[in-house]
């Protein structure tokens, strides 16, 4: 609890006012990732390996953008910073420990940007949501990674929608998930989409009690790899169940 409070306090002053309400989610993620590091290790290694595979064939490595860079646990930041001229990390919040780490000499070419990648505000303003259209203006962009972000966009959008649905389309969540996917497709740069697509609540006997589609039925591009991520291992929330997410990599 003390470590979480310190991380929260250190992150507060460097975070945009309108994003401060999201710091607690990043700190919670940091806390759970620390507690579950052994059970999450394979998922994180698979994610890093998919990104490395996706960038291996690039002819030019000028600028790379990582969407949902978060704690940089599933992002091979050392390799990205060494290979590309510039690496841009985008998230709602960059916690203080990540900011501090990026001050090292090896990361001099890494930029941190705080940005809401959901497109919710555009949709609320009656505009067409194109949350990734800014990528077209990034100079010399060769590679874009969506790093286990999409399901979190879906969850955040659903929370906002349920709190104030008036004036929003009924299919707000589906529209914004689809907008992220279409923002990554048909672009003149290489992309690597990593996302959890569903989760299952599994009891102590191994029986699946519930399965949920995290992407609300929105069609996905073909995947080159897939694996399980025990986000909530037995004992984390309860001794009686675990929650296992299904993750895909598409590049």
Site of interaction with ligand SAM (CB under 6 A) = 26, 29, 68-75, 91-93, 116-118, 147-149, 152-153, 156
Judged by beta carbon, residue 130 or residue 203, the one nearer ligand SAM is 130
CB of residue 206 to ligand SAM, shortest distance in Å: 26
CB of residue 133 to ligand SAM, shortest distance in Å: 14
Supply φ then ψ for residue 89, to 5 degrees. -105, 125
Whole-angstrom Cα distance, residue 73 to residue 40?
A: 10
Judged by beta carbon, residue 63 or residue 118, the one nearer ligand SAM is 118
Whole-angstrom Cα distance, residue 129 to residue 120?
A: 7
Judged by beta carbon, residue 34 or residue 204, the one nearer ligand SAM is 34
Tokens of 61: 């490595």
Judged by beta carbon, residue 148 or residue 191, the one nearer ligand SAM is 148
> Which residue minimizes CB distance to ligand SAM?
70
Q: What is the dihedral of CA 81, 251, 47, 25, to 10 degrees?
A: 90
Tell me if 203 sits within 8 A of 151, measured CB to CB: no
CB of residue 147 to ligand SAM, shortest distance in Å: 4
Tell me if 136 sits within 8 A of 166, measured CB to CB: no
CB of residue 7 to ligand SAM, shortest distance in Å: 13
């Amino acid at each position: 609890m003390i470590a979480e409070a310190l991380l929260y306090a250190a992150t507060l002053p460097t975070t945009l006012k309108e994003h401060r309400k999201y710091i607690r989610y990043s700190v919670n993620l940091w806390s759970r990732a620390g507690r579950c590091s052994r059970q999450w290790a394979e998922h994180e290694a698979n994610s890093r390996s998919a990104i490395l595979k996706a960038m291996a064939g690039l002819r030019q490595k000028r600028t790379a953008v990582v969407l949902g860079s978060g704690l940089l646990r599933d992002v091979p930041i050392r390799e990205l910073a060494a290979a590309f001229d510039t690496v841009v990390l985008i998230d709602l919040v960059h916690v203080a420990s990540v900011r501090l780490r990026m001050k090292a000499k090896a990361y001099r070419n890494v930029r941190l940007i705080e940005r809401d990648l959901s497109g919710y505000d555009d949709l609320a303003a009656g505009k067409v949501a194109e949350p990734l259209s800014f990528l077209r203006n990034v100079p010399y962009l060769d590679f874009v990674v969506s790093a286990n972000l999409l399901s979190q966009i879906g969850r955040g959008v659903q929370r906002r929608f349920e709190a104030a649905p008036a004036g929003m389309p009924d299919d707000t969540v589906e529209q914004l998930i689809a907008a992220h996917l279409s923002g990554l497709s048909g672009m003149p740069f290489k992309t690597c989409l990593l996302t959890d697509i569903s989760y299952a609540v599994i009891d102590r006997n191994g029986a699946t009690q519930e399965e949920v589609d995290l992407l609300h039925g929105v069609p996905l591009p073909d995947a080159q790899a897939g694996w399980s991520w025990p986000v909530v291992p037995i004992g984390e929330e309860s001794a009686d169940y675990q929650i296992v997410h299904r993750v895909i990599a598409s590049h």
